[in-house]
């Protein structure tokens, strides 16, 4: 019995050792993430199914189920339809198309793989772009019969723009063109001409039949004219170096880890570079510096942290850093900061882009309000021409200018994916509207070029009128007295010979904003338009008074930024809502309470009072004439009114 136990223990220890060796071997394998993309019905799902089948990575029950489903829903008669292996949604199997992104894991003796199967339909381009943003390599499928389609070119452009450097052009369905070399050479020539236009450095072309297995794992007996690698040989051997490892250290702070009084660390995932205990570290955007005291992980402390690792960093000093801040190595080669960017955008919503609309922009761990201030052009993926456009529609790719509410840290996407890639999120529905990449900071010079060309500038016009241009921004609930006071003020300014103008819903909504309604996003757009109009009137030397509710603080910050802080005077009408109700002779609030009008501040929408308005009035305490006199005195004090 004792001898039997010893033999059993030896067998157990041997088994444990074999398992440990297997796990260690798996850990040593490199991981390749690759995407299959291309036009509709080019064979993307079939290729992945074939890879899994021939790699003998399917369980018996999976294979049996695949055979049964193939008989019921397949397109290959009695043969296995490999596309059904990854088209898992019922709608996908019924229609024979890929709708959602599918992820599959498999491995060979040389490498581990995560394969991302993406839709080919133009309607689901956003799903394809999501998958491409995570890939190291792209297998671009081309139907040998159809050649390069618009969607093929769109997908090629997207993977190139998203920094996928390794491209395999898989000329599929060669069995349907009699495995002809001439057709293969023709399509490779076509793609090479297109690739040069989008600055694609290189690509590997492979003729194959995913359905029959030609050049997938084994070399095809039907195409002896081809001497290159099979797809699996290429996937196993392609060198995907970790380009972020040699870049400067960057770790966006996900959260501040403070479980007790004795521990404080900054948790996050390192997106580039490396750092050792004792190295100098800088927190951006504050610029505060310290030294790395400890690298904490759930498996124990480390002496060095590398790109891709999720850790908690403890510093020697108690510096201020919070979610979204960037921890950087040393105090040189720090990320840039800006609130204005040149970007490329893939618009992912069926609702077209409206310039000036405010979104939440998520870049890394940081979220900030942002708006597209200019659409420079749309890119025609067929000709790659830049077409002038004022908006973007679903699946269109454009180059735009984006402005954020405040300066953020970034690096161009070409240098660092994590620091230069972002998404735009609808503030109301939380839907992802667009994905984009920052190409560089925008100085604003091209926007200001027209102004610089004017012979007579703002200062000349102001001197002529003997006044300082200014926008007086009245904010407050409907019927709180904004227009009453603005009218009283304008009468006094007119009597003094000043040049002024009032903008309010009465003269803006019937013309400049007649295409807008009461939706929250439209109200934000109205504020943007009014701010730009006010700036133009200031450029003409005028004093402008705007009378709009503008209930949200970020709307007023946007207006202040557009107009310029030095030309912006904010006045808050803090009139109680019961007095506003008494002034409402047209029943505006009653209609809002009955639901006939939506998004009314004070009823079904919040009003965020200014924290530091220049002046505050209330119809309970001030008559319009008295308030106008106080504002007039303020303008005189500021030197706005000339002699």
**CA distances for 365 relative to 271, 323, 374, 518, 565, angstroms:** 11, 7, 25, 33, 29
Residue (of 35, 38, 32) closest to 156 by Cα position: 38
What DSSP element (H or E) covers 7? helix 2-28
Taking the C-alpha atoms of residue 410 and residue 126, their distance in angstroms, rounded to an integer, is 24
For residues 407 and 394, is the Cβ–Cβ distance under 8 A? no
Q: How many helices (H) and strands (E) does the chain have?
A: 18, 27
Tell me if residue 563 falls in helix, strand or coil: helix
For residues 593 and 478, is the Cβ–Cβ distance under 8 A? no
Structure tokens at 88: 């898992």
In the residue annotation, 338 being an active-site residue is answered as no
Give Cβ neighbours of residue 213 (< 8 Å, ≥ 6 apart). Answer: 50, 54
Taking the C-alpha atoms of residue 40 and residue 21, their distance in angstroms, rounded to an integer, is 43
**CA distances for 58 relative to 100, 107, 114, 119, 368, angstroms:** 22, 12, 15, 23, 45
Structure tokens at 85: 């292996």
Structure tokens at 33: 């993430």
Residue (of 172, 167, 177, 169) closest to 208 by Cα position: 172
The beta-carbon contacts of 582-591 under 8 Å, at least 24 apart in sequence, are: 583/479, 583/480, 583/481, 583/619, 584/478, 584/479, 588/478, 588/479, 589/478, 589/479
DSSP H helices, 162-217, are 181-197
Residue (of 77, 78, 74, 76) closest to 87 by Cα position: 74
The DSSP code for 426 is -
Give φ, ψ of 76 to 5 degrees. -115, 25
Cis previous bond, 486, omega within 30: no
Residue (of 204, 203, 206) closest to 223 by Cα position: 206
Taking the C-alpha atoms of residue 274 and residue 82, their distance in angstroms, rounded to an integer, is 42
Taking the C-alpha atoms of residue 282 and residue 330, their distance in angstroms, rounded to an integer, is 6
Q: What is the largest CA-CA distance in the chain?
A: 115
Taking the C-alpha atoms of residue 114 and residue 490, their distance in angstroms, rounded to an integer, is 68
Selected catalytic residue, list 39, 205, 290, 550: 550
For residues 342 and 335, is the Cβ–Cβ distance under 8 A? no
3-state helix vs strand vs coil in the chain, percent to 5: 35, 30, 40
Taking the C-alpha atoms of residue 635 and residue 65, their distance in angstroms, rounded to an integer, is 80
What is the set of active-site residues? 550
């Amino acid at each position: 019995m004792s001898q039997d136990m010893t033999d059993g223990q030896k067998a157990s220890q041997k088994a444990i050792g074999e398992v440990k060796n297997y796990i260690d071997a798996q850990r040593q394998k490199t991981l390749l993430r690759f995407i299959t993309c291309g036009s509709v019905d080019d064979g993307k799902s079939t290729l992945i199914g074939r890879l899994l089948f021939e790699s003998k990575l399917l369980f018996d029950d999976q294979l049996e189920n695949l055979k049964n489903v193939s008989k019921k829903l397949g397109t290959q008669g009695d043969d296995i339809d490999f596309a059904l292996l990854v088209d898992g949604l019922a709608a996908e199997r019924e229609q024979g198309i890929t709708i959602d992104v599918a992820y599959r894991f498999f491995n060979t003796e040389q490498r581990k793989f995560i394969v991302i199967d993406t839709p080919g339909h133009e309607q689901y381009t956003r799903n394809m772009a999501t998958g491409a943003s995570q890939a190291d390599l792209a297998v671009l499928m081309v139907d040998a019969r159809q050649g390069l389609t618009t969607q093929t070119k769109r997908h090629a452009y997207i993977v190139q723009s998203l920094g996928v450097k390794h491209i395999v052009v898989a000329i599929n369905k060669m069995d349907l063109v009699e495995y002809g070399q001439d057709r293969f050479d023709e399509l490779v020539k076509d793609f090479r001409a297109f690739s040069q236009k989008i600055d694609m450095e290189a690509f590997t072309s492979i003729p194959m039949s995913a359905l029959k297995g030609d050049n997938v794992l084994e070399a095809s007996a039907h195409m002896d004219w081809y001497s290159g690698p099979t797809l699996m040989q290429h996937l196993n051997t392609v060198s995907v170096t970790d380009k972020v490892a040699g870049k400067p250290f960057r770790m966006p702070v996900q959260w501040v880890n403070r479980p007790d009084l004795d521990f404080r660390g900054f948790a996050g995932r390192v997106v580039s570079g490396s750092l050792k205990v004792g190295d100098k570290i800088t927190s951006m955007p504050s610029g505060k510096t310290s030294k790395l005291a400890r690298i904490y992980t759930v498996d124990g402390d480390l002496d060095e942290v590398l790109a891709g690792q999720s850790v908690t960093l403890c510093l020697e000093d108690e510096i201020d850093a919070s979610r979204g801040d960037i921890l950087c190595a040393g105090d040189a080669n720090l990320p840039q900061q800006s609130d204005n960017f040149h970007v490329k955008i893939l618009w992912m919503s069926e609702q077209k882009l409206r310039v000036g609309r405010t979104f939440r922009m998520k870049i890394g761990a940081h979220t900030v309000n942002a708006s597209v201030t200019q659409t420079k052009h749309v890119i025609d993926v067929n000709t790659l021409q830049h077409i002038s456009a004022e908006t973007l529609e679903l699946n269109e790719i454009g180059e735009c200018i984006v402005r954020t509410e405040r300066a953020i840290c970034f690096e161009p996407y070409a240098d660092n994916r994590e620091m230069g890639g972002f998404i735009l999120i609808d503030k109301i529905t939380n839907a992802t509207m667009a994905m984009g990449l920052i190409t560089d900071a925008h100085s604003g010079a091209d926007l200001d070029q027209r102004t610089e060309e004017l012979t007579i500038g703002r200062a000349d016009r102001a001197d002529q009128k003997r006044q300082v241009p200014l926008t007086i921004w009245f904010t407050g609930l409907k019927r709180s007295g904004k227009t009453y006071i603005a009218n009283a003020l304008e009468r006094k300014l007119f009597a003094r010979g000043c040049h002024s103008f009032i903008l309010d819903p009465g003269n803006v909504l019937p013309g400049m904003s007649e295409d807008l309604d009461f939706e929250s996003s439209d109200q934000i757009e109205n504020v943007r338009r009014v701010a730009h109009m006010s700036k133009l009137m200031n450029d003409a030397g005028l004093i402008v008074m705007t009378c709009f509710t503008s209930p949200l603080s970020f709307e007023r910050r946007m207006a202040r930024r557009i107009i310029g802080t030095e030309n912006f005077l904010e006045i808050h009408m803090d009139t109680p809502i019961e007095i506003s109700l008494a002034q409402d002779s047209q029943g505006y609030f009653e209609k809002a309470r009955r639901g006939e009008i939506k998004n009314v501040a004070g009823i079904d929408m919040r009003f965020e009072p200014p924290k530091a308005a220049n002046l505050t009035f209330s119809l309970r305490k001030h008559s319009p004439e008295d308030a106008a006199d106080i504002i007039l005195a303020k303008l005189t004090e500021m030197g706005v009114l000339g002699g």
